Amino acid sequence: MKKRGLATAVLAASAVGAAGFGWLESATGGFLPGLLAHGCLAATIGGLADWFAVTAIFRKPLGISYRTEILRRNRPRIMRALAEFSGSDLLSREHVMESLSGQDFSEMLAKYLVERGGRERLYALADAAFTRGMETLDMRSVAAVLEPSIRRVFSDIRLDEMADDALASALSPKTRERILHALAPIARRVWGDEELQSMLLASIGNIREAYIGDKTMRASLFDMEELSDERLLARLNEYVETWTGELEAGEGELYARFSEWLDAFLRGGERREQLAAAVRRWQNEQVETADVAGRLTQGLELLRKNCLLSWRQKLRAYLERRIESFLSDAEARASFNAWVLRWFDNLLAVHHAELPQMMERQLAKMTDDELVELVESRVEDDLQMIRINGAVVGSVVGMLLYLLTMAAERAWA
């Protein structure tokens, strides 16, 4: 608005100068008044021409409708071009990934763990998930699977090997569904934590500022799409809500991946060996017991009751080691950064084709006046400088032509 006033003032000064110096030239016939009069006249003509051109982009100058209001008349074509341009260039997969590559996600995570209380929240999440999983594990189902085999080969069976089969049977899709279903509300509470949301909002702002930089068009496209930091965070929350919904519903790609990971985790490692050792000791004492299923159920329930606390402590110790390793290991942090970038890249690969349609739908919601106001506000200063430059260049050209005319007249005389 300041430059518009300046451009209008320059135009008005040029017109006043042309009239004043023109009168002075006619009265005195002096060289300097004539030079200034021709310079001001040319500046007025140039300024008026540029004012007409700039105004014609957005509205009808002097009520002239022929080839004016360019933005309104060509809105459909402009919207399609902007949508295609945003998807193929400004918001292209390569440009987005280039901007994200400059972010240190491992440093963000480290700050969350160390400065924002993330470490304790992670402990609480893992403890709640593990405890819930152990509490919902149906020990009767485990015993029911084992009982027929124990009764059939009670004297010479390797019960430690059967324990693996029993564990695999207990980890049925239904059981995994219960565990993952229990994770959903816990994950939702942690994700909705105010501290975490505040950190995510700040990170989104940093990423967006790094991406936009001094690019006016990028900022305009973000404004057209109404992609404020809060809106971007809201969309991210929508994705998380969709994922937790998949866990609760027991279906979807994320549920399938978690289910496979849980199955693989619980089938191997130290816990498997510990279970086998415990079963071998128990076999020597209990293999002759008549109520195999009942005693086995009681034993498993007792094991869960007596060892759950120690298992939770071991889980916390394991997480502490992993966090300390992450904070101190540059290679682990680099690996985390690479994983986050791959995740974003995969997400863009799936959804990037939707960006032009999203942009076009968002633009379609805007009225003509809103679109004109938005575009004009972004390029106002540059357009008004065209008017100012037109007046300046016109004045210089006008004075040069006057000098050339005077020189030609004198030479001819």
Residues, the chain: 413
Please, what is the end-to-end C-alpha distance for the chain in angstroms? 51
Q: For residues 72 and 78, what is the distance between their CA atoms, to the nearest angstrom?
A: 9
pLDDT at 65: 75
pLDDT tens for each residue of 253-301: 777 777 776 666 665 556 667 767 777 776 666 555 556 677 778 877 8
The most confident of the ranges 141-150, 281-290, 306-315 is 306-315
What string of H, E and C letters represents the secondary structure of 23-65?
A: HHHHHHCCHHHHHHHHHHHHHHHHHHHHHHHHHHHHCCHHHCC
Q: For residues 204 and 102, what is the distance between their CA atoms, to the nearest angstrom?
A: 13
Q: What share of the chain is helix, strand, coil (3-state, %, to 5)?
A: 85, 0, 15
pLDDT at 327: 86
- The chain-wide mean pLDDT, for the chain, equals 75
DSSP output for 280-338? HHHHHHHTT-S-HHHHHHHHHHHHHHHHHHHHHHHHHHHHHHHHHHHHH-HHHHHHHHH
pLDDT at 246: 76
Task: Tell me the Cα Rg of the chain.
Answer: 37
What confidence tier does 110 reach under pLDDT thresholds 50, 70, 90?
A: confident
pLDDT exceeds cutoff 80 at 92: no
Q: Which long-range contacts (CB under 8 A, 24 or more apart) does 330-338 make?
A: 333/106, 333/107, 333/110, 334/106, 336/105, 336/106, 336/109, 337/104, 337/105, 337/106
pLDDT > 90: percent of the chain: 0
Q: For residues 103 and 6, what is the distance between their CA atoms, to the nearest angstrom?
A: 41
Question: In sequence order, which residues have a C-beta less than 8 Å from that of residue 366 and are 6 or more positions away?
Answer: 224, 374
pLDDT at 13: 87
Backbone angles phi, psi at 192, to 5 degrees: -80, 5
pLDDT at 265: 61
CB 118 within 8 A of CB 196: yes
> Scanning the structure block, which residue is given the tokens 């002075």?
24
DSSP output for 266-279? HHSSHHHHHHHHHH
Look at 352 and 346; give whichever has higher pLDDT: 346
Q: For residues 58 and 47, what is the distance between their CA atoms, to the nearest angstrom?
A: 17
Look at 374 and 124; give whichever has higher pLDDT: 124
Q: What residue segments make up the domains of the chain, in order of their start?
A: 2-73+380-412, 104-175+201-225+255-328
pLDDT at 52: 85
pLDDT tens for each residue of 358-411: 666 666 666 777 777 777 776 777 777 888 888 888 888 888 988 888 888 778
The b/e string for 167-194 (b: 16+ C-beta within 10 A; e otherwise) is beebbeeebbbbbbbbbbebbbeebeee
Does an H or E element contain 169, and which? helix 159-170
CB 188 within 8 A of CB 241: yes
pLDDT at 413: 61
Distance of alpha carbon 134 from the chain centroid? 36
pLDDT > 70: percent of the chain: 70
Look at 117 and 358; give whichever has higher pLDDT: 117
Nearest CA to 159 out of 265, 312, 306, 295 is that of: 295
What pTM value is reported for the model? Answer: 0.39
Look at 192 and 153; give whichever has higher pLDDT: 192
